[in-house]
Amino acid sequence: MQQSRSRQLPFLIATALISVCVAAKSGFAQTPPAASQTPPATAQMPSAGTQAPAAGTQAPAATTQVAPAPQPLTEAELKKINGLIADQGRDVGVDPMITDILGLTANGQAISCRAFAAFDARSENEIHQIYLLPDAKGYLVGHFYKDKVDVYLTDKDFALLAALAGVRGERPATASFQDAQYGFGFERTWWANFADTH
């Protein structure tokens, strides 16, 4: 019996070493995962007085910050801009590609309207244009900067309806309304300042 115990001991040691080696290869000694670029998700706890969603229902999505909606031009600013268009503007044809995309025309139909353009005093490569649409239906507002162009369609009260964005000389694409509102806020402010100072 003594002899069988002594033979068992090397067998048990060998088995233990093999199992450690096999376990190490199969993930026993794992390396920690690489640090993630995104922070881990944290549980959202409802604030006091807020009920948690019922079991099995989804919580509402988190809201994202949005630029505040631009304030409309004042009646005096619109009157001043209309005066600039009438007195200093020119009759021009509007690119049918632009009007087709915005739904103002179809099949390359041309329209002409009175337009006024001004250089941005802060930059030598920025041009702001405003077109009074036929029958005073609204405005097309163009902003040319760097190699880009943004075109905004507004109603007669200068409220944003639609927008295009693109690279000069190429076909523009419709802009999302959220992106358009953001850009139009700056453009509306530029025209308000221009009307107030000219």
pLDDT of residue 123: 85
pLDDT of residue 44: 40
pTM: predicted TM-score of the whole model, two decimal places: 0.65
Which residues is 95 bridged to in the sheet? none
Write out the E strands in 72-110: 90-94
Any domain includes 7: no
pLDDT of residue 121: 86
73-88 confidence digits (pLDDT tens): 999 999 999 999 999 9
pLDDT of residue 50: 42
Any domain includes 166: yes
pLDDT of residue 66: 53
Q: 139 — phi, psi (to 5°)?
A: -135, 150
107-140 confidence digits (pLDDT tens): 999 899 999 999 998 887 899 999 999 998 999 9
Instruction: Work out whether strand 160-167 and strand 90-94 pair parallel, antiparallel, or are unpaired.
Output: unpaired
**How many structural domains does the chain have?**
1
> Domain containing 88: what range?
75-197
- Evaluate whether 173 touches 164 at the Cβ level (below 8 Å): yes
Any domain includes 185: yes
Q: For residues 165 and 154, what is the distance between their CA atoms, to the nearest angstrom?
A: 15
The residue ranges of the chain whose pLDDT is under 50 are 9-65
